[in-house]
Amino acid sequence: MMADSALVLFSGGQDSTTCLAWALTRFARVETVGFDYGQRHHAELEARQRIFGALRRSFPEWAPRLGEDHLFTLDVLKQIGGSALTDSTAIEMGANGLPTSFVPGRNVLFLTTAAALGYRRGICDLVGGMCETDFSGYPDCREKTVNAVAVALTMALDRPVTVHTPLMRIDKAETWRLAEELGGEALIDIIRQETVTCYEGDRIHEHAWGFGCGVCPACDLRAKGYAKYCTDLDQRAQEG
């Protein structure tokens, strides 16, 4: 088994792109897995190939480590439905205290699928962008949940499964900062230009923080995080 390999859950968004860069600085070989689960738009999935290309061009030292990409269809989430991410309902706060963008079971299903793929590929280190400091409060993004899933998968596969979550305890401003630490301005530019976080998949409206509708909760979070990152950057420049 290759201990120096990792499998990154890579959607084409800001968080998973930062996780991919994180893995590329730590593992000799990095494979990626993405999921088509009937999202409202395909902008994120289309971004994935652009991001691979940009990373290979801007980071020649990472290029040889970037291995196979896998894309799976998980129609079952769309079939179950009821989420604003798979159905054309509004993204708002639901009666259960969670945004209607919550897709029940999504991350558990993703991690299970990734671990099964890892089993076949001889990879036991998974990397995911789950984050519990996020506004959403998705219960399947919490550290406790992710750790419990890792334990369950280790038992189910009878092989150690580790889930690395480099973003778990940091906020969106710190996620930009982490990207800067990992790949400098070049990585910040790739994230700004190529990644899609917007719930509407908007690639028309350009902002300082990248493309997006600018009004959905995901754009709002990304914009605020970027603004704070820039403020912190100015502060660091003044201090240093």
Can you give the binding site for Zn ion, defined by CB under 5 A? Answer: 198, 200, 212-213, 216, 219
| Cβ at position 195, least distance to Zn ion in Å | 13
- Whose Cβ is closer to Zn ion: residue 187's or residue 219's? 219
- Whose Cβ is closer to Zn ion: residue 126's or residue 219's? 219
The two structure tokens encoding residue 86? 């798979």
| Cβ at position 224, least distance to Zn ion in Å | 13
Q: Are 44 and 13 in contact (CB under 8 A)?
A: yes
Within 13 A of 223's CA, how many CA atoms are on the CB side?
15
| Cβ at position 209, least distance to Zn ion in Å | 11
- Whose Cβ is closer to Zn ion: residue 190's or residue 198's? 198
Burial 130-167 (b: 16+ CB within 10 A, else e): bbbebeeebebbbeebbeebbeebbeeeeeebebbbbb
- Calculate the CA 92 to chain-centre distance: 21
- Whose Cβ is closer to Zn ion: residue 13's or residue 183's? 13
- Whose Cβ is closer to Zn ion: residue 153's or residue 191's? 191
Helix ranges (H only) for 59-171 are: 75-80, 106-121, 143-157
| Cβ at position 212, least distance to Zn ion in Å | 4
CA distance 136 to 170: 14
Task: Say which DSSP state 101 is in.
Answer: T
Q: Are 46 and 165 in contact (CB under 8 A)?
A: no
| Cβ at position 207, least distance to Zn ion in Å | 10
| Cβ at position 198, least distance to Zn ion in Å | 3
Nearest to 106 by CA among 161, 39, 6: 39
Q: Are 154 and 166 in contact (CB under 8 A)?
A: no
- Whose Cβ is closer to Zn ion: residue 104's or residue 217's? 217
